[in-house]
Amino acid sequence: MKSAAAPTVFIIDDDRGMRQAIHDLVESVGLRAESFATGEEFLGRKQIGRPSCLVLDVRLPQMSGLDFQRRLTETGMQIPIIFVTAHGDIPMSVRALKSGAVEFLTKPFRDQDLLDAIQHALERDQAAQKQEAEIRDLQERYRGLTTREQEVMTLVVSGMLNKQIASEIGASEATVKVHRGHVMQKMHAGSVVDLVRMADKLKLSPCK
Amino acid sequence: MANEDVQKTLAELSRDLEESKARLEEAQRVAHVGHWEWDLETDVVVWSDETYRIFGLSPQERPMDLAAVRAMVHPEDRESLYRGVDEDLGAGVRPDAEFRIVRPNGEVRTVHSVTPKRWSSMPGDAKRDSSGRPCKLFGTVQDITDRKRAEDALQRTQFYLSEGQRLAHMGSWASNDLGIRWSDDLGIYWSDEVYKIHGLDPQNGVPNLKQYLATIHPDDRASMAETIRVMHEQRCGCDVTKRIVRPDGEVRYVRCVGVPVFEGGIFKAFHGTTMDVTEHELLTQELRQERAYLTEAQSLTHTGSWACNLLTREIFHSSDENARLYGFDPSQGEIPFDRFYNAILAEDEVALRVKLENAIREGADYDAEFRIRRTDGAIRFLRGIGHHNPSQEIGEYVGITMDITERKRAEEEREKLRQLEADLAHINRVNMMGELAAALAHEIRQPIAASITSANACLRWLARDPPDLERARAAAARIEQDGNRAADVINHLRSFYKKGTPPERGIVDLKDIIREMTALLRKEAVRHSIRIHSELHEDLPNVLADRVQLQQVFMNLMLNAIDAMKDTGGKLTISSRLTPEGQLVVSISDTGVGLPAENTERIFDAFHTTKPQGTGMGLAITRSIVEAHGGRLWATANQEAGATFHFTLAAKSEADA
């Protein structure tokens, strides 16, 4: 996972002329570009570098761009998509944007519009990448807690007092205090507020 | 003295004689009777003055003898007259003869000559010779021409009458009275024909009342007896038709008309006629039946019949149904012309009046449709057909009026349907255009977008410091490529179908498609007086094609043909033939405006049109479709008028299936 890799713009368009033109435009602003004639070709690629984004033609020979977008979501690949089309209509663009597309451009488009959209998409991917790394870190720390500590953490972030937690888990208040100290330390939490924010990112739910 | 006396007496006698003679002459003149004396020995004949007049001569104009008399007898009667006289004299009978004479002026008269009984019985009147034969004859002659003519006329009249009665099956009768005592003799006279009508023998005499009533059909007998009783009591006439039964059982219808005859206010007799009206009656019944059928038919078909004079506005006949068409009650008697006419809607009346006036002026028939407001307020469509017989008065028409409201409504429905079909055909074309435009937009937009993007990239390579000329050149090269690509799309517009979504091909029966298209376009064609005619190859093979696209081909070419004949009408012919190579050639021919003189091929160019509302795409699309099916489309000018479009299709053989 090389976070230092140059941002990459992937292009999928069955029209060779269009594909080459976008590819060249992207490279002219110093970005890396990789282009494919079909979605299958793109999926056949082993690694997708980050940050990256996808410029996708809505009308593809085998599968429509929208179907391809859904398929990417299903496989857990989260890549910002910019749709381009020669005959888009409003319902189609609404659907695309609702499904998380960054932009929906109609051919022919202004080059700056496409480049702005690419910039925006790459930033979004970068932010997403950062957030993903943070969550991975938190998850690692959380996994470092003992079962009892995880239990206490869940109860703490749900707003219970030590006394209540002690009665809940059937231990002394002093023992709870010790567990709580370990949790704060292991999770690198400066305060209960920090811990609550972490639990939120870890999507911990106050369980019974 | 005695001599004087004698002289005197003689003179008196002579005067008396002269007076007698004068009176005789006068009497003869008045009675048209003359006398004659014939000396059989000398054949000298002496005539009285009136005899001369009868023979057309002046009295005592010249002496007469037998030869002169004989010459004056009508040649046809001459021989028989003298033979008769000789025979009579020979037999000792008084001659009595009727014969014709010819007067000197050529006039023919009939005379009756007779020897009076008194004279012949007196000895010495007819002087006899020694053998006993009379030697002198005396007689009278009378001009009976007028009487004879009256007799002849009467005889003729009687003959005509009896003959007429016989022919007319009409007899006459008279009766002093009609006794009401059943056994009484009716005291009547029946002409032969009355006997014949009743099938009775005149030899048996006139039947009495009871016998007469027995001849009447049992169902009519009581009413006939009543009629006779009333006639008798009230001295009134009668006019009855009743059935009689002849002795042989045959039933006849007899009409009996009688009138009382009065003289000086005193009843004298009944006179009357008896007619056999069986044929007439049966005909009447048949007519009545037919009339009932006709009335029923009129009511079923909402058709009324009438006869009237449109000029004088007199109605001679108007059937019940004719009244009902207007909502009038036919049982309320005659309806005046104006009541019919005023029911016509004002907006239709003007045109109808013009039509009727023209027809009346030209003595022509007419056929007109108009609307009326019925008495119940409903608006109905009527069609009136009037026929004028040239032998009739000006303005006299017989005709029928039909209620065509239902038919008219159905026509309106059909017209709506036709409009809908026309709209559909139009929408079909518009849709086709729309699809084409959308597809075209994509095809052209793609290279244009690519070239714009490449141009942007090119500019960016050039804007670098230092400019990347290599990349800029590559981008420019792509711009050129994409520009050409866009141009190609436009140039090869017609090949759109090859590049579009692959058509769904299947085995298509051309006859089916032609039948469908003909049905769809027939009304449009009829509206422009165009006949659609097919001359298809007997074994028209199936073809492998996209059915919808082939429909478009036929529709385009047929609409094109109809367009070409819109103003003139004409004939649209669809024909087919097979080439020896197994290619199917379909030809659609019109008799319309024809092809442009030059550049015939240009008609197939996209956006080429000669029609104000045309898109110019029809033939271009059609050619694209045909070529996409591996065929060709071309046009030829017809020798006489119009153009023919031909296209080829590969026939689908069984082996390919």
Tens-digit pLDDT profile for residues B308-322: 999 999 999 999 899
Q: What are the residues whose beta carbons fall under 8 Å from the beta carbon of B517, sequence distance 6 or more?
A: B551, B554, B555, B558
A108·B461 Cβ contact <8 A: no
3-class DSSP state for residue B390? Answer: coil
Count Cβ neighbours within 10 Å for each residue of B436-450 and write b for 16 or more, e otherwise: beebbebbbbbbbbb
The token pair that represents B411 in the structure block:
């026509």
A24·B447 Cβ contact <8 A: no
The torsion angle over the Cα atoms of residues B41, B44, B46 and B47, rounded to 10 degrees, is 120
Phi and psi angles of residue B297, each rounded to the nearest 5 degrees, phi first: -65, -40
Nearest CA in chain A to B450: A18
- pLDDT band at B217; cut points 50, 70, 90: very high
Read off the pLDDT of residues B566-583 as tens digits, 9 standing for 90 and up: 888 899 999 988 888 778
**What amino acid is encoded at A140 in this protein?**
E
The token pair that represents A161 in the structure block:
């007092």
Looking at beta carbons, which residues of chain B come within 8 Å of A108?
445, 448-449, 452-453
Mean pLDDT of B290-304: 85
For the residues of B456-493, what is the DSSP string, one character each?
A: HHHHHHHHSSS--HHHHHHHHHHHHHHHHHHHHHHHTG
Res B459: pLDDT = 93
The torsion angle over the Cα atoms of residues B89, B95, B101 and B103, rounded to 10 degrees, is 90
Cα–chain center distance at B226 = 46
Q: Is the peptide bond before B466 cis (omega within 30 degrees of 0)?
A: yes
For the sheet with B633-637, list strands across it: B530-535, B570-578, B583-589, B643-650, B633-637
Looking at B92-179, list the stretches that DSSP marks H as alpha helix, in order from N- to C-terminal side: 117-121, 145-168
User: ∠ CA B295-B297-B299 to the nearest 5 degrees?
Assistant: 70
Looking at beta carbons, which residues of chain B come within 8 Å of A20?
450, 454, 478
Q: Which of B218, B238, B243 is nearest to B228 (CA)?
A: B238
CA separation for the pair A118, A108 (Å, rounded): 16
Mean pLDDT per block of 10 residues along chain A (208 residues) reads 69 90 93 90 80 87 78 84 79 78 86 93 91 90 90 89 89 90 91 89 67
For the residues of B62-74, what is the DSSP string, one character each?
A: S-EEHHHHHHHB-
- pLDDT band at B392; cut points 50, 70, 90: confident
Q: Which domains does chain A have, with CATH numbers?
A: 8-131 (3.40.50.2300), 144-201 (1.10.10.10)
Of residues B589 and B624, which shows the higher confidence score? B589
Residue B129 parent element (H or E) = none
B456·A108 Cβ contact <8 A: no
Mean pLDDT of B73-102: 84
The torsion angle over the Cα atoms of residues B285, B290, B293 and B295, rounded to 10 degrees, is -100
Q: Of the candidates B441, B442, B478, which has its C-beta nearest A21's C-beta?
A: B478
Chain B residues whose C-beta is within 8 A of a chain A C-beta are: 438, 441-442, 445-454, 456-457, 460-461, 464, 468, 471, 474-475, 478, 481-482, 485
Distances in whole angstroms, Cα of residue B52 to Cα of each of B33, B64, B574? 10, 10, 107
pTM, two decimal places:
0.37
Q: Which of B471, B224, A187 is nearest to A196 (CA)?
A: A187
A21·B454 Cβ contact <8 A: yes
Q: Of the candidates A15, A24, A114, which has its C-beta nearest B446's C-beta?
A: A15
Res B514: pLDDT = 86
From B499's Cα to the closest Cα of chain A, the distance in A is 13
From B608's Cα to the closest Cα of chain A, the distance in A is 27
The token pair that represents B463 in the structure block:
């804007």
Least confident of A52-61, B362-371, B426-435, B595-604: B426-435
Residue B133 has pLDDT above 80, yes or no: no
Looking at beta carbons, which residues of chain A come within 8 Å of B468?
28
CB of A107 within 8 Å of a chain B CB? The answer is: yes
Q: Of the candidates B450, B461, B471, which has its C-beta nearest A17's C-beta?
A: B450
Res B435: pLDDT = 54
Q: Of the candidates A20, A29, A87, which has its C-beta nearest B460's C-beta?
A: A29
Phi and psi angles of residue B575, each rounded to the nearest 5 degrees, phi first: -130, 165
CA separation for the pair A9, B503 (Å, rounded): 37
User: ∠ CA A88-A94-A99 to the nearest 5 degrees?
Assistant: 115
Mean pLDDT of B74-80: 89
Looking at beta carbons, which residues of chain A come within 8 Å of B451?
17, 21
Cα–chain center distance at B625 = 60
CA separation for the pair B628, B625 (Å, rounded): 5
Pairing of strands A103-106, A81-85: parallel
3-class DSSP state for residue B307? Answer: strand
A28·B478 Cβ contact <8 A: no
Please check whether residue A54 is in contact with residue A80, taking contact to mean a CB–CB distance below 8 angstroms. Answer: yes
Count how many pairs of residues, chain A against chain B, have C-beta atoms within 8 Å.
76
- pLDDT band at B16; cut points 50, 70, 90: confident
User: ∠ CA B277-B282-B286 to the nearest 5 degrees?
Assistant: 145
Res B123: pLDDT = 41
- pLDDT band at B358; cut points 50, 70, 90: very high
Res B380: pLDDT = 93
Using only the alpha carbons of chain A, give its radius of gyration.
23
- pLDDT band at B30; cut points 50, 70, 90: confident
The token pair that represents B313 in the structure block:
């506005």
- pLDDT band at B178; cut points 50, 70, 90: low
A20·B438 Cβ contact <8 A: no
- pLDDT band at B436; cut points 50, 70, 90: low
3-class DSSP state for residue B534? Answer: strand
Tokens 């008196």 identify what position? B12
Using only the alpha carbons of chain B, give its radius of gyration.
56
Read off the pLDDT of residues A59-114 as tens digits, 9 standing for 90 and up: 776 677 888 888 888 887 888 999 988 766 677 778 778 777 888 888 888 999 99
B446·A18 Cβ contact <8 A: yes
